[in-house]
């Protein structure tokens, strides 16, 4: 007798508290060709549900997605715990330590995760569902979870029949899911360790003056830059000499024996720091300016940097359009500026994540220095900037960076380079959910609110972290 085919992505969650997320996630994964099973789809009437669940996990599941939420981590949720126990056993029998994929739905404490998943890396959906879908799909792709587009109609009909009557309409046409992730196509191949010649107390001042990204590791200096480049930028009384140059993969493996080198996690953090600093410096080389935002250093377009303050770009369906990246609010008496926060996700796969932000100035050049006023302006001015508008700004920003080229090359002050793709990472669904995520790229400029503004608490529901997109 042949073993059953494992092709099911099983979603374990708390019912009914987390049903809406599971309906959204299940529909998205089905649209991408995955065979999804969750009790919101199949458990109806007098179904012998435990037998069905056990069969799905033990005989059909290739991966189990565990939705970690305040509800599902409750020890009293015995059904969820039973599902995890079964999944943990299957993972061991398959010799697959990543059989269970935890996704964090809300701000539940990681320390409260059930014992079966507490050691696993969770994908954090708590800040926005759309922005993490691509990471989950990447995980499924790396695990070689099968995709069958020929069965999408069948699976989607099954989903529609077994979910609530107010689910989104499904159209028989493809849907493009656009992320705010820029793929890193090529990481630098080597990293250098330098000895610094000069007083130890002056290392930071001397190296900061060069503008070259670096990281201090004890007396050593770690950088992608060449020795000649750093030395040419140092004052004459300081010198650097090469201690060693190692391959990047070797660097990330951590020290061998008595070798002086960062431990694996520290090495990853150092790589993240250096790459982020190089990308930030690249943004400044393109004319953007830096300011200290509440969530880190953001990089904004000053007025006058771009002709007529608009970036032209080509939409996924081939149309040329534009987007304003700065502007003037006469009503508020300020200029607004598109800006970006930079984050690095080393994956695999590796991405640069540009987080859209908006800052304000009175002269078109220098951001307002009062944090409370900046937040109040952002909440008022951006209150109608929904997902569509942020997505258009994101596309315009990447078009500006790439200048229409397929690759963005970031100089690392030596023979090494960082190669970024010239377009945002996209997912292609073979069916479209109407009213969920719209990909319409006609320019949509914001309308200023006519409501009186009574302070920071006057408008609720708008976070200071807008711009997670798909």
Beta bridge partners of 177: 427
Segment 70-112, tens digit of pLDDT: 999 999 888 899 899 999 999 999 999 999 999 999 989 988 9
What's residue 51's pLDDT? Answer: 56
Structure pTM? 0.62
CB 453 within 8 Å of CB 373: no
SS3 103: strand
pLDDT number for residue 281 = 96
Q: What is the pLDDT of residues 346-370, one digit of tens each?
A: 877 899 999 888 999 999 999 999 9
* Domains of the chain (ranges, CATH numbers): 8-167 (3.40.50.10140), 187-278 (no CATH), 280-433 (no CATH)
What pLDDT, on a 0 to 100 scale, did the predictor assign at position 100?
95
The C-alpha atoms of residue 125 and residue 110 are separated, in whole angstroms, by 13
pLDDT of 458 reads: 25
Q: What pLDDT sits at residue 379? A: 84
Quick one: pLDDT at residue 293?
84
pLDDT less than 70: residues of the chain:
1-4, 40-52, 131, 156-178, 386-387, 428-470
Contact 30/133 with Cβ under 8 angstroms?
no
What pLDDT sits at residue 442? 43
Query: What residues have CB less than 8 Å from 231, skipping those under 6 apart?
Result: 239, 240
Give, as one character, the DSSP assignment of residue 19: H
User: Which pLDDT score is estimated for 162?
Assistant: 54
Tokens describing residue 268:
């990853």
Give the length of the chain.
470
Radius of gyration of the chain (CA): 25
pLDDT of residue 444: 45
How crowded is residue 183: how many other Cβ atoms within 10 Å of its Cβ?
A: 17
CA atoms within 13 A on the CB side of 20: 6
């Amino acid at each position: 007798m042949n073993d059953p085919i494992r092709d099911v992505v099983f979603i374990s969650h708390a019912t009914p508290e987390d049903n809406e997320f599971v309906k959204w996630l299940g529909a998205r994964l089905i649209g991408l060709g995955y065979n999804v099973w969750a009790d919101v789809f199949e458990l109806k009437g007098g179904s012998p549900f435990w037998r069905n669940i056990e069969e799905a996990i033990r005989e059909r599941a290739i991966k189990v997605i565990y939705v970690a939420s305040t509800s599902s981590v409750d020890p009293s949720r015995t059904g969820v715990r039973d599902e995890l126990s079964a999944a943990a056993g299957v993972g061991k029998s398959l010799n697959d330590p990543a059989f269970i994929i935890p996704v964090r739905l809300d701000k539940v404490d990681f320390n409260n995760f059930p014992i079966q998943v507490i050691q696993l890396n969770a994908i954090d959906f708590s800040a926005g569902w759309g922005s993490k879908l691509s990471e989950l799909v990447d995980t499924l792709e790396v695990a070689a979870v099968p995709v069958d587009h020929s069965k999408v109609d069948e699976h989607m009909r099954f989903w529609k029949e077994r979910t609530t009557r107010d689910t989104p309409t499904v159209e028989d046409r493809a849907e493009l899911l656009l992320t705010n992730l820029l793929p890193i196509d090529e990481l630098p191949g080597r990293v250098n360790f330098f000895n610094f010649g000069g007083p130890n107390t002056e290392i930071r001042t001397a190296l900061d003056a060069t503008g070259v990204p670096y990281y201090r590791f004890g007396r050593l200096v770690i950088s992608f830059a060449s020795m000649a480049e750093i030395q040419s930028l140092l004052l004459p009384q300081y010198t650097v000499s090469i201690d060693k140059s190692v391959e990047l993969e070797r660097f990330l493996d951590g020290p061998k024996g008595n070798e002086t080198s960062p431990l694996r996690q520290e090495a990853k953090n150092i790589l993240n720091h250096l790459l982020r600093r190089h990308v930030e410096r690249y943004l400044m080389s393109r004319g953007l300016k830096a300011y200290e935002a509440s969530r880190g250093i953001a990089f904004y377009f000053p007025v006058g940097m771009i002709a007529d303050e608009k970036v032209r770009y080509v939409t996924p369906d081939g149309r040329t359009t534009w987007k304003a990246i700065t502007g003037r609010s006469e009503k508020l008496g300020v200029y607004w500026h598109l800006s970006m926060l930079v984050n690095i996700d080393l994956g695999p796969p590796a991405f640069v994540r540009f987080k859209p932000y908006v800052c304000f100035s009175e002269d078109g050049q220098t951001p307002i220095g009062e944090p409370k006023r900046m937040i109040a302006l952002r909440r008022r001015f951006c209150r109608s900037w929904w997902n569509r508008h942020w997505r258009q700004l994101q596309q315009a920003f990447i078009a500006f960076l790439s200048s229409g080229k397929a690759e963005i090359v970031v100089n690392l002050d030596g023979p090494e380079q960082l190669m970024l793709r010239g377009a945002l990472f996209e997912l292609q669904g073979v069916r479209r959910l109407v009213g969920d995520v719209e990909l319409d790229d006609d320019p949509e400029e914001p309308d200023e609110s006519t409501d009186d503004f009574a302070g920071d608490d006057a408008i609720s529901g708008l976070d200071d972290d807008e711009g997670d997109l798909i």
